[in-house]
Amino acid sequence: MESTEREWTRADRIRAGFAYWLFVCACFVLAFGGWLLLRMEGARMGDVRPVTATIERVETVTNDDGHGHATTRRLVIYSYSIDSVRYTTDRVGSRGAAQQSAWAAHVARQLRPGQTVTAYVASSNPGSAFLVRDYDWRVYALLGLPLALGVGLAIYWPWAGIRAE
């Protein structure tokens, strides 16, 4: 019985090897993009300092989402002072994540009016504080997954069966 597999020519192997390594390089470029985003997030947190804040109100707000569905969110209003100037805000997370998320609601349930908490303020923008630093898992995924795939493929190269013999 004849084998239907055709032998790879040298040109086929070169093209396949080029495509293989091009994909590995693309993985490393994506991982580098994730690393840059991670550095940008760290730089944004570089000039953050803690301040004492007081919870003013914690309430549940119900809104119409524009499609006839009611959405609820926990609203935490707190105030703090910097250089004798009083600021009031409702930002819970450092990324400004949606306040209707389950995470923001969980944080809000732990807070009571009159409670003293630590808020974090960037010296470049004292009017915008946050209570909890939240991390974006997508940045870590953009760094970790392509990096792992690129390293794995680079290690697998000797067994890929593409190299010219």
How do residues 19-59 score in pLDDT, each as one tens digit? 999 999 999 999 999 888 888 776 566 678 889 999 998 88
Indicate the average pLDDT of the chain.
Answer: 81
Residue 63 lies in a domain: yes
Nearest to 56 by CA among 127, 96, 112, 99: 112
Q: How far apart are CA 132 and CA 135, in angstroms?
A: 10
Q: Are residues 26 and 84 in the same domain?
A: no
How do residues 58-91 score in pLDDT, each as one tens digit? 887 777 777 777 777 778 889 999 888 999 888 8
Q: Are residues 127 and 86 in the same domain?
A: yes
Q: What's 158's DSSP letter?
A: G
* pLDDT (0 to 100) of residue 46: 65
Average pLDDT over residues 101-121: 79
Question: What is the domain extent for residue 147?
Answer: 10-44+139-159
Main-chain phi, psi angles of 124, to 5 degrees = -75, -20
* pLDDT (0 to 100) of residue 31: 93
Q: Are residues 78 and 147 in the same domain?
A: no
Q: Are residues 125 and 88 in the same domain?
A: yes
Half-sphere exposure of 86 toward its Cβ, with a 13 Å CA cutoff?
5
Q: Are residues 57 and 102 in the same domain?
A: yes
Q: How far apart are CA 151 and CA 165, in angstroms?
A: 23
Nearest to 122 by CA among 160, 72, 87: 87
pLDDT band at 11 (very low <50, low <70, confident <90, very high): confident
pLDDT at 130 over 70: yes
Q: What is the count of structural domains for the chain?
A: 2
* pLDDT (0 to 100) of residue 3: 62
